[in-house]
Amino acid sequence: MATNSTRRRNPLLPWFIGLVIVFAAVIYTAYRFYCTDCGVSPIPLVLVLGVVPIVYLALMYLTFTSQAKDEKRDRNDYDPR
């Protein structure tokens, strides 16, 4: 076993964790709106069930594109000063 080996973390781990959280929130909110007579206006319904997943997907796309740019960057051009 090599002592200097580095363990690379899965770059999709934050994506999976966020996806589980967003889907749990959407499913719970949809259940509450459908099964209970809470009388909520459609604006919060659209925000939770539509806008939150779209914003999440957009932010994760931006994160992945920035990670891809960092991985393609030449390590010799980086100046850590």
How many other C-beta atoms lie within 10 A of the C-beta of residue 48?
A: 19
Tokens 């909110």 -> residue: 29
The predicted structure's pLDDT at residue 67? 72
How many other C-beta atoms lie within 10 A of the C-beta of residue 63?
A: 14
**Mean pLDDT (whole number) for 38-42:** 72
The predicted structure's pLDDT at residue 5? 64
Higher pLDDT: 36 or 75? It is 36
- Helices marked H in 1-81 — which ranges? 13-35, 42-46, 52-72
Separation CA 16–CA 60 (nearest Å): 10
Separation CA 40–CA 34 (nearest Å): 11
The predicted structure's pLDDT at residue 25? 83
The pLDDT-based confidence of 12 (bands split at 50, 70, 90) is confident
Query: Residue ranges per domain, the chain?
Result: 13-70
